[in-house]
Chains A and B, each alone.
Chain A
């Protein structure tokens, strides 16, 4: 459905008083998301995951590589065709408070795109309303309670569901959710995560879930893939649960080690290590491993050459890792046995 091949994005540097060098947000990312599949992109702030999401939804241009939607290369298209292609890929933004116009009701937010579709398909006004009600039901909302309300009258979770319903109005083939639950109350997050994975199954649409929260990624991409991005490169990729339980790249292991341990319910994984904080002023030198400065396991080779993603010997069919010294480590917390029941 969506393919990106060696995708690159470089923000040009600026000159003058506030001079800064160019920023390589993406350094050649290759991904293939099939129809109905789930992919989680995880990494810390500034790793390029959001840029990637914006490029595949057509909100940002890229500076190298290719983007194919349904097999068609975006690059050669007329603006009109490109718009039509990108309509198939809808973005669910991080902040549902900012994504909805506070002066318009939920009905107004949903009716606009539906009206466009109705005009094109020769449908009438009743269809628009019927479809809006149907979409709200699909995202777990009761239309009679939400349709004529304003965004401020809804909870964060409800608002994010409305945003998802609005993305679904144009019958997309893929949803790109960028930190879609980080602004929502914790008691409601899981509901939205489960909704995304349920929509994927029911409507057979692809979901790209962008996050720094590995646990959240597990709920959306449970039977899909997870790609770990570091400074614009994919450093490890594989089936989500396998990657979480058996990470082999030290950066993936850092991310997983950083997840708080729920003492009382679980204990730290035996190989958990304290990841080093981000170095300031990291070099743009791509002749070494980009993670070598922070990696507790780096040796001379890591500083002398750049590793490319290769199949990992431990699971050659479905794990790619860009590391000279891939090694499985148990860093994820282990549930305590004999855990008292919640009830």
Chain B
């Protein structure tokens, strides 16, 4: 708690510092940026959420943060500096292999695809420990068992299961166990609850919150669900078409979104209370890579506040208040 308080008063050096990051995909019609000239600091011990729809570049960003972007994608420019570790973009294969899992680990969206179908969960955990040169393998198993129990998984049964013997919710929890096995400092969660129903989701979110606090992790959460953002994160980065539209403390964003896209996203949430007409769908659809305009604001085609300048001038991501950044030509007062 003390660490968190200290941080809010004096900005400590960020745990991850991303500068001018562009990640492009090579297609038959050209090279397109899925993430475009992105600057982002991720503060230590925070839960930062990145929210966006399909094509927003949020998953590409997560992959880039482990330098795991695969062909036809590639990191075109920029740096991703981890405190005390250096710029991961420059790492060679062996350094990357060690870095992933030991320093930063990822929980993938389709976690069933990340487990080996031919090996029992426990055996895969041991493989992981072995490949990272862990001496005390028993400890890895013991901790996994403890975690499993906390997540309401039958520990022995889980470790002796094959992945197909587990339900979607169980697999998701197992992949969290894997991500935490080597005690990373940074955990990246890519849509950790999207495949789950609402009850499993609330339980998994609770576990993430607890473990984040206990281990003092720096957590990055990739999601499309504003509810998950509101429940879990301290801070939220709204992405659209590979760029940051807005960046704010989560409650502030929900209370008073400044970018027209954030406003529209929040207004489009089906709600349990209040008049049904309060919720409004956004016109248009998210942009595909090749549709992203080279100049001007990328959101202009769906924007209710479009002005002539939006067609030509690219809005800079500017700080409008401490900890709040907005990329919009509109005059905004937080």
A interface residues (Cβ-Cβ under 8 A, vs B): 44-46, 155-158, 185-191, 193-194, 212-216, 218-219, 222, 244-245, 254-266, 274-281, 332-335, 339-340, 342-343
**How far apart are the CA atoms of A78 and B268 in the complex, in Å?**
47
Q: Which residues of B contact A214 (CB under 8 A)?
A: 198, 272
**How far apart are the CA atoms of A343 and B250 in the complex, in Å?**
18
Contact with B263, one of A191, A216, A332, A342 (Cβ below 8 angstroms): A342
Nearest A residue to B251 by beta-carbon distance? A264
**How far apart are the CA atoms of A285 and B282 in the complex, in Å?**
48
Contact with A215, one of B199, B272, B282 (Cβ below 8 angstroms): B272
B264 on the interface (CB 8 Å rule)?
yes
B54 on the interface (CB 8 Å rule)?
yes
Number of interface residues of B (CB under 8 A): 55
Q: A155-B286, A188-B285, A214-B198 are in contact. Are A262 and B269 (CB under 8 A)?
A: yes
Give 4 closest A-B pairs by Cβ, nearest first. A260-B227, A264-B254, A155-B285, A264-B251
Apart from A264-B230, A278-B199, what are 18 other A-B pairs with CB-CB below 8 Å?
Answer: A45-B197, A45-B200, A187-B268, A187-B281, A188-B282, A190-B268, A190-B280, A193-B270, A254-B199, A259-B227, A260-B201, A261-B231, A274-B206, A277-B200, A278-B152, A280-B157, A332-B272, A342-B257
Contact with B281, one of A188, A213, A244 (Cβ below 8 angstroms): A188
B interface residues (Cβ-Cβ under 8 A, vs A): 53-54, 151-154, 157, 167-170, 196-203, 205-206, 224-228, 230-231, 250-257, 263-274, 276, 279-282, 285-286
Total number of residue pairs linking A and B with CB closer than 8 Å: 155
Q: Which residues of B contact A194 (CB under 8 A)?
A: 281
Q: Which residues of A contact B266 (CB under 8 A)?
A: 265, 342
**How far apart are the CA atoms of A335 and B275 in the complex, in Å?**
11
Q: Which residues of A contact B196 (CB under 8 A)?
A: 45
Q: Which residues of A contact B263 (CB under 8 A)?
A: 342-343
Q: A263-B251, A340-B256 are in contact. Are A258 and B201 (CB under 8 A)?
A: yes
Q: A332-B273, A333-B273 are in contact. Are A339 and B255 (CB under 8 A)?
A: yes
**How far apart are the CA atoms of A265 and B149 in the complex, in Å?**
34
Nearest A residue to B302 by beta-carbon distance? A187
User: Distance in Å from the Cβ of A42 to the closest Cβ of chain B?
Assistant: 9
